[in-house]
Amino acid sequence: MQIPRNAPDRDPERLVRDYADLVLRVCYTYLRSTADAEDVCQDTLVKLICRDEPFRDSGHERAWVIRVAANACKNLLRDRGAHPEADLTAVPEPAAAEAPDEDALRHRDDRVLAAVMALPLPQREAVYLRYYEGYPTREVARIVGATDAAVRQRLSRARASLRDDLKGDYDDFPA
């Protein structure tokens, strides 16, 4: 495959700069593994850079990137289910010391992330795209291949679950 060089919007540096963080976050939401997320992120960016067909607009490009990343993650999860592996993610990474108020914030953020990551995949996917990426529910439905009503139901159930799991977590901190 050859990279199209004639279109300024197809600049590989721009594509990586614009989408690497987004793709990595999407992948981590699905895979819960930094290493696997980085692998899928790289594969997704290579597909984006090597894509020959033009996009209708930047929204189409962004949705395509998210969909390709999500599908790659689902494929990896499906393959992993067929071929289980030993979990080596339990090894802690060394961290720099933080101020006490940062520890409290980090604990809260870790608790929120753990609660979101514990949601079933359809709910986790909907929460990520709606609240982290800011897509309206209609667009989330198009991206994940569900109806708008199904996405709204997933978000409602996810909020209810998070409300129960995180009860009291935001009482001491500003939003």
At residue 59's C-alpha, the angle toward residues 123 and 15, to 5°, is 100
Which residues of the chain does CATH 1.10.1740 include?
A: 1-85
> How much of the chain exceeds pLDDT 70, in percent?
79
3-state secondary structure of 151: helix
pLDDT at 2 over 50: no
Q: Which CATH architecture has domain 1-85?
A: Orthogonal Bundle (1.10)
Reported confidence tier of residue 170, pLDDT bands at 50, 70, 90: low
CATH classification (class only), 98-168: mainly alpha
Buried b or exposed e, range 130-145, using 16+ CB within 10 angstroms: beeeebebebbbbbbe
Which residues of the chain does CATH 1.10.10.10 include?
A: 98-168
Does pTM top 0.75 for this prediction? Answer: no
Compute the half-sphere exposure of residue 124: CA atoms within 13 Å on the CB side of its CA. 19
CA distance 146 to 79: 23
